[in-house]
Amino acid sequence: MNTSAKISTNPSVLKRALSNPLAKSGFIIILVVFILAMLAPWIAPYDPDDINVKAILLEPSAQHWMGTDGLGRDVLSRMLYGGRISLLVGLVAVGISTAIGILLGALAGYYRGWVDTLIMRLVDVMLSIPSFFLILAVIAFLTPSIYNVMIVIGLTSWMGVTRLVRAEFLSLSSREFVQAARALGAKDARLIFTHLLPNSLTPIIVSSVLGVAGAVLLESGLSFLGLGVQAPQASWGNILSDGKNYIQFAWWLSLFPGLAILMTVLGYNLLGEGLRDALDPRSGSRK
Query: With contact defined as beta carbons under 8 Å apart, do 105 and 227 qualify?
Result: no
Question: For residues 40 and 236, is the Cβ–Cβ distance under 8 A?
Answer: no
Using the predicted structure, report yes or no on whether residue 31 has a pLDDT greater than 90. yes
d(CA 234, CA 79): 7
Q: 240-270: string of b/e by CB count within 10 Å (b at 16+)? A: bbbbeebeeebebbbbbbeebbeebbbbbbb
SS (H, E, C) the chain: CCCCCCCCCCHHHHHHHHHCHHHHHHHHHHHHHHHHHHCHHHHCCCCCCCCCHHHCCCCCCCCCCCCECCCCCEHHHHHHHHHHHHHHHHHHHHHHHHHHHHHHHHHHHHHCHHHHHHHHHHHHHHHCCCHHHHHHHHHHCCCCCHHHHHHHHHHCCCHHHHHHHHHHHHHHCCCHHHHHHHHCCCCHHHHHHHHHCHHHHHHHHHHHHHHHHHHHHHHHHHHHCCCCCCCCCCCHHHHHHHHHHHCCCCCHHHHHHHHHHHHHHHHHHHHHHHHHHHHCCCHHHHC
Q: How far apart are CA 186 and CA 205, in angstroms?
A: 26
What are the structural domains of the chain? 12-49+64-282 (1.10.3720.10)
Count of CB atoms situated within 10 Å of the CB of 99: 13
Residue 14's pLDDT band, with cuts at 50, 70 and 90, is low
Residue 42 identity:
W
Contact (Cβ atoms closer than 8 angstroms) between residue 5 and residue 281: no
Q: Among candidates 87, 110, 270, which has minimal Cα distance to 182?
A: 110
Q: What is the mean pLDDT of residues 5-10?
A: 45
Q: If you average pLDDT over every residue of the chain, what do you get? A: 84
pLDDT in tens, 189-219: 888 888 788 888 888 888 899 999 989 998 8
pLDDT in tens, 216-252: 998 888 888 888 888 788 889 889 988 888 888 889 9
pLDDT at residue number 197: 84
Q: Where does the pLDDT of residue 65 fall: very low under 50, low under 70, confident under 90, or very high at 90 and above?
A: very high
- Give the pTM: 0.84
Q: Rounded to an integer, what distance in angstroms lies between the CA atom of residue 31 and that of residue 36? A: 9
- pLDDT category at 284 given cuts 50, 70, 90 is very low
Of 185 and 41, the structure prediction assigns the larger pLDDT to 41
For 118-158, the pLDDT digits (tens) are 999 999 998 888 877 878 877 777 777 788 888 888 988 89
φ, ψ of residue 74 in degrees (nearest 5): -70, 120
pLDDT recorded at residue 11: 54
The rounded distance, in Å, linking the Cα atoms of 101 and 85 is 24
Q: Which residue has the higher pLDDT, 280 or 85?
A: 85
